């Protein structure tokens, strides 16, 4: 029994790291943990089906363990932006304010041909039509055309994103002024646009 848990945990960790190193584009719409869970569960479940001599519990126990790990990890990630960034990565700007970021293309191993195909799939025929192009954490490429505004998350579920504040040229004093007396821990979401416009959504009270 202990051996089953031990070997399952090692394989889960190994596949998670392997998929992480493969890069965001290979992951597609699934997050790393979800993809690894899907691969492992399908493989483990096929073993007792192919070999009747193997007890069903040899598949049931690891599947319960893996699914439980995925649920627990997902819950913990949603409570910690650092862990979410470690497990899922972050979005990358391929085009920011009309300027192509060549370093991001190279770092994410996106060829010019792939990049232009993604633009066309998003309804943009040329780079000059695009204001922002983002490689999302799930591997998809999003495109915002010219004259579009980009919203940046300043507060997420009560947590202040200092990195975004700094990147946008703001500080805690600016934040306090725009909150206008609202406590950050009472804010579900606060965003700021390119033109400085802010949007604040207060947390709903639990019934």
* Count of other CB atoms within 10 angstroms of residue 6: 10
CATH 3.30.240.20 given to domain 92-145: yes
CB-CB contact of 191 with 154 (8 Å): yes
What percent of the chain stands above pLDDT 90? 29
For 144-159, write each residue's pLDDT tens digit: 998 878 889 999 988 8
Name the residue with higher pLDDT: 182 or 35. Answer: 182
Name the residue with higher pLDDT: 20 or 52. Answer: 52
| pLDDT value of position 179 | 94
For 106-152, write each residue's pLDDT tens digit: 988 888 899 999 999 998 888 988 999 999 877 789 999 988 788 89
| pLDDT value of position 99 | 92
| pLDDT value of position 16 | 66
According to DSSP, the residues that pair with 95 across neighbouring strands are: 100, 133
- Check for a shared fold between 92-145 and 151-202: yes
Q: For the chain, what are the domain ranges?
A: 2-88, 92-145, 151-202
Q: Are strands 151-156 and 141-145 parallel, antiparallel or unpaired?
A: unpaired
For 75-111, write each residue's pLDDT tens digit: 777 777 677 666 666 788 999 989 999 999 998 888 8
For 49-74, write each residue's pLDDT tens digit: 667 777 778 778 888 888 788 778 77
User: Could you tell me which CATH number the domain at 151-202 has?
Assistant: 3.30.240.20
| pLDDT value of position 144 | 92
Pairwise CA distance, residues 17 & 195, whole Å: 39
Phi, psi of 92 (to 5 degrees): -125, 135
Pairwise CA distance, residues 164 & 67, whole Å: 33
| pLDDT value of position 32 | 67
């Amino acid at each position: 029994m202990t051996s089953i848990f031990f070997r399952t945990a090692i394989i889960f960790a190994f596949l998670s790291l392997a998929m992480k190193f493969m890069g965001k584009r290979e992951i597609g719409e699934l997050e790393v943990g979800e993809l690894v869970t899907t691969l492992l569960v399908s493989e483990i479940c096929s073993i007792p089906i192919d070999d009747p001599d193997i007890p069903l519990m040899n598949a049931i126990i690891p599947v319960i363990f893996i699914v439980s790990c995925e649920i627990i990890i997902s819950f913990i990630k949603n409570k910690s932006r650092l862990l979410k960034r470690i497990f899922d990565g972050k979005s990358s700007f391929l085009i920011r304010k009309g300027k192509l970021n060549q370093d991001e293309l190279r770092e994410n191993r996106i060829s010019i041909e792939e990049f232009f195909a993604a633009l066309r799939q998003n309804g943009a025929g040329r780079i000059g039509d695009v204001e922002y192009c983002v490689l999302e954490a799930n591997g998809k490429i999003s495109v915002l055309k010219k004259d579009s505004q980009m919203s940046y998350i300043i507060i997420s579920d009560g947590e202040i994103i200092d990195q975004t504040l700094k990147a946008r040229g703001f500080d805690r004093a600016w934040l306090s002024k725009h909150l206008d007396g609202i406590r950050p821990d009472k804010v579900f979401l606060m965003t700021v646009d390119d033109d400085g416009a802010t949007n604040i959504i207060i947390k709903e009270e639990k019934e």
